[in-house]
Chains A and B, each alone.
Chain A
Amino acid sequence: MQNVTLIISLVLMLAVGLVFFRAVRAVDSDTPLTDVETKRSRLIWGMMIVGVIVTLGSLRDWPHAIPTSGDIVQVNATGGLWYWEIDTTEVPLGKTVVFNLTTTDVNHGFGVVDEEGTLLLQTQAMPGYTNKVKYVFDKPGEYRVICMEFCGIGHHAMVNEFEVLAELEG
């Protein structure tokens, strides 16, 4: 996801940059500019159509949906200054895991990174609320929990771990 996001962003940024570059060069143009409002309308309609497609495509399956039945593993985690308390150190491979997040003090951000350091999921942890986020781990190994919301001088050190185990399957 992250690499695709980076590539798409850079391509689109470059495209917008090239349009500006052409506009700068066109300051000296002798050719009259025609159909300005038609071009503007096409641009607006084009953006609207792309927007509708992207919105429907990206939200059709609600990204925050939490399953309420089936084979679900619940993991409860609580953030505090500056620790993560997780009610298990082992999580099964290939099953839907629902993380229930809260905090005892300030806002924290529960982020899970794999052994390569790639962020897989996150949710905010807030005092007085329980946020839920689901994930299906497809690789066994050690996963780190880090803090994704600034919470004071120990923010960067708020790290914990859990293990995803294949033998816990089924």
Chain B
Amino acid sequence: MSDTVSKQAVIEPHATAVKLTMLISGAVFALMMLIGVIMRASQGGLIDMNPAFFYQLLTVHGTGMVGTAGFSGAGIMWYFLGRHVPLSKNMYYAFMVLFLLGVVCILSSTMIGGFGGMWTFLFPLPAAQAGAAWPVWAAATFMLGYVLIGVGFLLYYLAVGLALIRKYGGLGRALGWHIVFGRAEADDAPPPTVIAAAAVTVFNTLGTVVGAAVLIASLINLYQPGFEVDALLAKNMTYFFGHVFINAALYMAVIAVYELLPEYTGRPWKSSKPFILAWSAILLFVLAVYPHHLMQDMVMPAWMIVMGQIVSYLSGVPLLAVTAFSMMVYMYGAKFKWDLASSLLVLGVAGWTIGAVPAIIDGMVVVNKVMHNTQWVPGHFHIYLLVGQVGMSFGFMAWLVKDKTRSSEGLGGLDKVLLTSFAAGSAAFTLMFLVSGALSVPRRWAIHWPEWFVQDRIATVAALVVVLSVLTMLIRYATGLARSNET
């Protein structure tokens, strides 16, 4: 490890709050995965489950995973951004409290109220089934939970945005635009973490505001059915919000790679011109790509569907040619010692990049015609979220406690077992989704036809392996935290 880099890395602002964020995130990830195992077992005919309860679990699983990915990503970004700009601790605690209040609302709505309208709450389903499949209060509480989480995230980005503007004089300069569009020297570029944080702050603020608008409209419609919302507009707003939010979770988590990999390679991650341009492209692409979720809505303007396909493909360029490529270049010949943290961070970027392949292919109109809303979709998003986002989050967690575990030097025997089981289990689990997608198995069906049971059952076993590895990594992290408190 390079002394130069490691000495820069000793600042730990708000470490306690972030460590708590990651502990909560890890526990919720594990719990949601367990729910995933139960659902796959039910689809495979291994256990009997009432369809209504299945859809409640699926709603909890989707909401819980997406929300926790955002929560853990926010923890990672806050931790590392604090190395470069002063951040308000009170704002972070306000964000955490609002997020957790939102979680309480969502859990009450689904597990007590029986709400099962999915994490996408597609208008007008919450209201259409209110009073029949679930009570009105359950649908309202679900949406209120989202609003609380959204307000929490807006406060979070307000704090980040203000801190960036104070230090750099504007978000444009924090994005490094004075380097690529002005005359400033490359040495004046902000650190990679700042550039990434500025881009995420811009696109996820816009995403959250649009999400809040469609939620408020849906809430009013719930109590005043005369207040009608155009279904196509609501769908556009919902998928814009959902796409931007989940991308933000990934782009916040990758900051851990920018900050931690240099500790292993001894080579600081530089804000080169390609890096700055890549992040400007990411900012544009994340905002523009969402129509690829609406390719089977033929009433959408054709240019938007075409844009969805083109931007979907273009989104792979900064990921592959900048993030993944640069990581490989920094690693080349660095002779660093592998440990659980570095291995999970590299695996995370690999999982994200590999998962982008079936996603981009599904983003082609001709393919989407027969793959949309089949299990192909959870196939690709589970690769980049499970292996990518969760992988990077657990990599960061392993780094947080890396001097506090028994295998603190290098990659121990247990670490190798954990890595192998997490990677192999995830590969088998997601492959079964992709195979099922190719066999035209629809997603989000509580009851599966018997001819689909084989993939469901293999996926159940594979998911169980993933859950066991994640639970063990969580225990390793919790015991590491406990040891840090003792010393």
Contacts and interface: CB of A to CB of B under 8 A. Distances in A.
Q: Do A and B come from one complex?
A: yes
Interface of A: 1-3, 5-6, 8-10, 12-13, 16-17, 19-20, 23-24, 26-33, 36-37, 39-40, 43-44, 47-48, 51, 54-55, 58-59, 62-64, 66, 81, 105-107, 109, 111, 113, 117-124, 126-133, 146-157
A63 B52 CA distance: 36
Listed from nearest, the 8 A-B pairs whose CB atoms lie closest are: A119-B440, A23-B328, A6-B438, A156-B445, A20-B350, A148-B373, A131-B298, A2-B438
A27 B343 CA distance: 12
Contact of A153 (B52, B336, B372, B434): B52
Nearest to B328: A23
Nearest to B336: A27
A133 B235 CA distance: 19
B37 to A, nearest CB: 20
Contacts of B51: 153-154, 156
Contacts of A120: 370
27 contacts: A1-B367, A5-B438, A16-B350, A17-B354, A20-B346, A26-B331, A27-B331, A27-B335, A27-B338, A44-B317, A47-B317, A51-B313, A63-B365, A106-B124, A107-B122, A124-B298, A126-B299, A129-B297, A147-B442, A148-B372, A148-B373, A150-B125, A150-B444, A152-B125, A152-B133, A153-B55, A156-B445
A122 B373 contact: yes
Contacts of A119: 370, 374, 440
Interface in B107-130: 116-118, 120, 122, 124-125, 128-129
A54 B274 CA distance: 25
A133 B440 CA distance: 18
Contact of B440 (A2, A27, A62, A81): A2
Contact of A122 (B299, B370, B439): B370
B152 to A, nearest CB: 27
Given A47-B317, A54-B364, A105-B128, A27 B332 contact: yes
Contacts of B120: 150
A50 B354 CA distance: 18
Given A20-B328, A63-B366, A123 B353 contact: no
A40 B274 contact: yes
Nearest to A149: B373
Interface of B: 51-52, 55, 116-118, 120, 122, 124-125, 128-129, 133, 230-232, 235, 274, 294, 296-299, 302, 305-306, 309-310, 313-314, 316-317, 320-322, 324-325, 327-329, 331-336, 338, 346, 349-350, 353-354, 357-358, 361, 364-367, 369-374, 376, 434-435, 437-440, 442, 444-447, 449, 451
Nearest to A45: B321
Nearest to B129: A152
A160 to B, nearest CB: 15
- Secondary structure of the B contact surface, majority rule: helix
A133 B374 CA distance: 18
A75 to B, nearest CB: 15
Interface of A is mostly: mixed
Contacts of B439: 2, 117-118
Contact of A111 (B230, B329, B442): B442
A122 B358 contact: no
Given A40-B321, A107-B231, A148 B124 contact: no
Contacts of A129: 231-232, 297, 299
A153 B133 contact: yes
A34 to B, nearest CB: 11
Nearest to A30: B333
Contacts of A109: 296, 372-373
A3 B439 CA distance: 8
Contact of A59 (B309, B331, B372, B440): B309
Contacts of A3: 438
B361 A124 contact: no
B360 to A, nearest CB: 9
A146 B313 CA distance: 30
Given A27-B333, A119-B374, 14 more contacts: A6-B434, A16-B353, A20-B324, A27-B332, A36-B329, A54-B313, A106-B125, A107-B122, A107-B235, A120-B370, A121-B370, A129-B231, A152-B133, A153-B116
A62 B309 CA distance: 12
Given A43-B321, A118-B440, A156-B447, A27 B334 contact: yes
Contacts of B329: 33, 36
A33 to B, nearest CB: 5
Contacts of B230: 128
A119 B296 CA distance: 14
A155 to B, nearest CB: 7
A66 B298 CA distance: 10
A130 to B, nearest CB: 7
B214 to A, nearest CB: 14
B358 A47 contact: no
Nearest to B305: A64
Contacts of B333: 26-33
A47 to B, nearest CB: 5
Contacts of B324: 20
Contacts of B361: 5, 8-9, 12
